[in-house]
Amino acid sequence: VGLVLLSPLMLLIAILIKLDSPGPVFYAQERMGLDAKPFWMLKFRSMRADAEANGPGWTTANDPRRTRLGAIIRRLSLDELPQLINVLLGEMSLVGPRPERPVFVEQFKRSIPRYMDRHWEKAGITGWAQVNGLRGDTSIVERTKYDLWYIENWSLWLDFKIILRTIINVFRSKNAY
């Protein structure tokens, strides 16, 4: 339903990306999901096509790799809309711990207690950590605590609250870049 309702907006974003900078419309990045299985997470491309020429890295505030349009769609989290395709394919859920790249999962599982427990649930487009301000360049240790709390206290009502808070937070998040 979300894909159908949002398809006009997604088409507009795709056209604007093509007009704004050279390169593909979509960006597929390997992430780790349920049971730590890898999958290709889809996003609208918001950075230059050569953004990772020097290897993977975290996005930072005022990241020079962003395109002009990329700065806007990242600020409004519109770059995440193609993940609805991942949900349709069963690779992600609307709500759950945000998936990380394999290179970072390897690093975090050695240094953060219970980090791998996050993979007991399907990865989500949004999550408890994100609606509590832990997105972007924020503490992975804190995000993990929130993700584990979500897994241990899951309910349909909690998912509903997270989705509502996500919609509200889109317009006031400080850490979306």
pLDDT in tens, 123-163: 999 999 999 999 877 899 999 999 999 999 999 999 999 99
CB atoms within 10 A of CB 30: 13
> Residue 176 has what pLDDT?
55
CB atoms within 10 A of CB 34: 18
Sorted by sequence, the CB contacts under 8 Å of residue 114 that are 6+ apart come out as 144, 148
Q: Does the model's pTM come out above 0.75?
A: yes
> Residue 136 has what pLDDT?
78
Facing residues of 95 across strands?
126
* Six-digit token string for 50: 């050569």
> Residue 174 has what pLDDT?
62
CB 44 within 8 A of CB 73: yes
Mean pLDDT of 99-116: 95
Q: What is the mean pLDDT of the chain?
A: 91
* CA 78/CA 96 separation, integer angstroms: 18
Mean pLDDT of 114-125: 96
**Residue of higher predicted confidence among 174 and 23:** 23
pLDDT in tens, 52-89: 777 766 676 777 788 899 989 988 999 999 999 999 99
CB 111 within 8 A of CB 119: no
> Residue 6 has what pLDDT?
95
* CA 98/CA 177 separation, integer angstroms: 16
Kind of pairing between the strands at 26-32 and 38-44:
antiparallel
Mean pLDDT of 101-118: 95
* CA 176/CA 60 separation, integer angstroms: 9
* CA 120/CA 34 separation, integer angstroms: 6
